[in-house]
Amino acid sequence: MKLRSALGYTAAGATVLAAVLVPFLLMGMFSKGVVALGLHVDEMYSGGPALRVIQEGAYTITIHRTVYPHMLQNEKPFVQMDWGPVSALPARVSDVVDIDGDGRPDVRVSFGVPSDAKAPLHVDVEALSGRYEAMQNAGKEKNSRLIVHVDNSILVRVPLRNP
Amino acid sequence: MATSVGAPRHAGPAARGMVRSLLLTLPIVLWSLVMFFHPGTSTEWQSRAAATVTAVFMTVLFFMMMRTGTTYRWRRWFFVALGLLFPVGFIHGLLVARGSMGIPVEEMIAGRTPFCFMPIPTLILPAAFTRTIAFPGSIAGTNHGIAVMAGLWLAVTLVIGKGWCSYACFFGGIEEGVAAIPKRAEIRKIDSRWRYGPWAVLLAMVLLSFALFEPAYCIWLCPFKTVTEYVAARNAVGLVQNAIFILLFVGLVIVLPYLTKKRTQCSFFCPFGAFQSIFNKTSIFEIRIDRTRCKSCVVCQNACPNLSLSKESIARGETLMSCMKCGACVDACTNHAAVWHIKGTDVAVKPERARLMFLYAAWAMAVMFGGSIIAQGVATILHFVG
């Protein structure tokens, strides 16, 4: 019984010591441990990693990898494209984009660029191949179908028709 | 479990002398100075004044715990202050950063949704199976980043286990404050099956979050969205979500705590609290009932704000695993049968030693985490007043 008591008090003392170490050591150690797990934020939010960049005069179009929904996620697979920097965009963008890089156009994306960064955006997408869905006057309906202004880019997500 | 025969027994909480209480408070004074005035803290007068007020507040409360030998009511002052001041600082931060309490989809895509501890249990399955965090935040971001909050939660949980719910949670203080207002409870009979509510919500949210790959609790059920941030209502679904947040907040955090004098959101609903109960098994500190002193009067059961005592558990000499170590039962027991305890040691032999060791650990966490939040809230108020 004495051994159990000694162990109990030792553990309690170690706990108090751990409390002192939390802000100086343990918290940072555990946070770094979480980062080291190599987890990533769901691409349904982040848009997936960038695959390639197309130069269009003064601005660029960044094409992201296709994002597929998990499990029962109520979204369609989509491709995100970023137009930026916003300051270099014309008042109305209308670009034909070869999303998959096969040399053939996939979509024509058209949207106005308001001078007010907080003004609502709307996009028209004309499907030039059978792979992508057309969109008319789309705003921020779903994660897989939207146009938003994030930092210095305008992001357009186009859902796939036949995943 | 065993009580050693012939060992000197605890005579109940006793008031200490002024000098001895001051000496016992000295480590917390030093800790507060380090936590609130370390190099790198803001030099604005509002922040300095807020840090000073908070350091004094936390130190005085700890001193009173030492002086009176009681825990609950002093801890409650801290906890209510934390619950009330967290929204002040947090909402002010949101309004400065984005001009609204609503989370626009742009902020989600940019990974700037602040991450609190609530969705942690619902993120484990998606992370384990797909290495994906089903939350629109950033992992390594320093401001409300997922790794920072997860690291903090792990460290504090290692130290105080389920004590998180009494010394670190920045939500529970609101309902604890409301529960303290009426002199008597209007509703005194509460069906014991309500205890399973948090486990049911936890199970449902874990499965739903895995199936839909989204933080289901944050999106649909968190009552505290009402006083922090909410989904920007872009359509009918958003309106329904916000209506649910408000109804749950009014019901579980305002009305029911007032009628029952219990922390009803924690007792009936909170899935994080249920998850955190698991860590009561790993914590070295606990509260036990000394059967040789217990008269089965159930005063402790009535005093518990979290339904963490039942007649059966009292008969076994222990609390239920949902016990959050607030100390209400210990302070209420007139026979001094409810005692602080260190696992492995004899029950009720040196409970004050167990209480002191736990309180040093818990109050260190309270000053570090809750104290910084209180100071931020006070600084925000001073910013507007001054």
Q: Give dist(CA B179, CA B260) in Å, integer.
A: 7
User: Considering the domain boundaries, does residue B221 fall inside one?
Assistant: yes
**Residue B321 predicted with pLDDT over 60:** yes
Q: Are residues B206 and B138 in the same domain?
A: yes
Is the pLDDT at B192 greater than 50? The verdict is yes
On whether both B269 and B328 belong to a single domain, the answer is no
Question: B5 in a domain, yes or no?
Answer: no
Residue B322 domain-assigned (yes or no): yes
Residues B276 and B188 in one domain: yes
Quote the domain boundaries for residue B157.
Answer: 106-283
CATH of the domain at B305: 3.30.70.20
**CA angle, residues A58, A64, A65, in degrees to nearest 5:** 155
From B241, B259, B283, the end of a domain falls on B283
| Beta bridge partner(s), residue A63 | A52, A81
For A74-105, give the secondary structure using H, E and C. Answer: CCCCEEEEEEECHHHCCCEEEEEECCCCCCCC
Put simply, the answer to whether A22 touches B127 (Cβ < 8 Å) is: no
Mutate to test the interface with A, among B157, B284, B356 (most CBs of A within 10 A): B284
CA angle B154, B83, B318 (to 5 degrees): 60
pTM: predicted TM-score of the whole model, two decimal places:
0.93
Only one residue has tokens 């030093």, namely B30
For B293-309, the pLDDT digits (tens) are 999 999 999 999 999 99
pLDDT value of position B7: 45
HEC string for chain B? CCCCCCCCCCCCCCCCCHHHHHHHHHHHHHHHHHHHCCCCCCCCHHHHHHHHHHHHHHHHHHHHHHHHCCCHHHHHHHHHHHHHHHHHHHHHHHHHHHCCCEECHHHHHCCCCCCCCCCHHHHHHHHHHHCEECCCCCCCCCCCCHHHHHHHHHHHHHHHHHHHHHHCCCCHHHHHHHHCCCCCCCCCCCCHHHHHHHHHHHHHHHHHHHHHCCCHHHHHHCHHHHHCCEECCCCHHHHHHHHHHHHHHHHHHHHHHHHHCCCHHHHHCCHHHHHHHHHHCCCCEEEEECCCCCCCCCHHHHHCCCCCCCHHHHHHCECCCCCCCCCHHHHHCCCCCEEEEECCCCCCCCHHHHHHHHHHHHHHHHHHHHHHHHHHHHHHHHHHHC
- B119 shares its domain with B179: yes
Share of chain A above pLDDT 90, in %: 88
Cα–Cα nearest to B18, from B58, B67, B53, B55 = B67
Asked if B354 and A70 come within 8 Å (Cβ–Cβ), the reply is no
- Which residues in chain B have Cβ-Cβ distances shorter than 8 Å to A38? 131
Q: Which residues in chain B have their CB less than 8 angstroms from residue A27's CB?
A: 151-152, 155
Same-domain check for residues B149 and B277: yes
Is B41 part of a structural domain of the chain? yes
B177 with B234, same domain: the answer is yes
State mean pLDDT over B68-95: 96
By CA distance, what is A68's nearest residue in B?
B213
Of the pLDDT bands very low, low, confident and very high (cuts 50, 70, 90), residue B3 is: very low
- Determine, yes or no, domain membership for B114: yes
The total domain count for chain B is: 3
Q: Are residues B184 and B56 in the same domain?
A: no
Identify whether B73 is part of a domain: yes
Residue B217 shares a structural domain with residue B110 = yes
Residue B9 domain flag: no
B309/B384 same-domain check: no
pLDDT tens digits, one per residue of B8-20: 455 555 688 999 9
Q: Given this model, what pLDDT does residue B5 score?
A: 39
Provide the pLDDT confidence category of residue B231 given band limits of 50, 70 and 90.
confident
Residues of B whose CB is below 8 A from A46: 109, 111
Res B143: pLDDT: 65
Domain identity same for B335 and B358 = no
Both B28 and B74 in a single domain?
Answer: yes
CB < 8 Å from A in window 263-302 of B: 284-285
Task: Note whether A32 contacts B: Cβ–Cβ < 8 A.
Answer: yes
Q: Is the pLDDT of residue B172 over 80?
A: yes
Domain end position, chosen among B230, B251, B283: B283
Six token digits for residue B291: 């059967």
The interface residues of chain B toward chain A in range 339-378, judged by CB-CB distance below 8 A, are 342-346, 354, 357-358, 360-362, 364-365, 368
Place of tokens 């994002």: A67
Same domain? For B191 and B206 the reply is yes
Q: Is the bond preceding residue A85 a cis peptide, omega within 30 degrees?
A: yes
- Chain A's closest residue to B341, CA to CA, is A8
Residue B380 domain-assigned (yes or no): yes
Query: Which of these three, B283, B299, B315, is where a domain ends?
Result: B283
